[in-house]
Amino acid sequence: MVASYFAAERDLGRVAADAGPDVLAPTLIGAAHLLFAGREGAPLEAGAVEKVVRTVIAVIAI
């Protein structure tokens, strides 16, 4: 689903033409997952998820 989204955004010209949705999707999912893996109730820092998403998306921006 995420790879399809990235592909659609690429086709619309909102993501770099050479972006690889099949690589970017698991990168984003994995990075977000690692924010929560092994946590024992401690809350994430404010903006932690947004920072990960923005970092991955920055790689594919036009």
Q: What is the pLDDT of residue 8?
A: 93
pLDDT of residue 60: 67
| 52, 5 contact by CB (below 8 A) | no
Return the pLDDT at 29: 93
Give CA angle at 51 (45, 52), nearest 5°. Answer: 105
* pLDDT tens track, the chain, 62 positions: 999 998 998 899 888 888 889 998 999 999 989 888 877 877 888 899 999 888 888 766 65
Measured between its terminal Cα atoms, the distance across the chain in Å is 21
Cβ atoms of 7 and 51 within 8 Å: the answer is no
pTM: 0.74
- Pair 6, 24: CB distance under 8 Å: yes
How many whole angstroms separate alpha carbon 5 and alpha carbon 32? 17
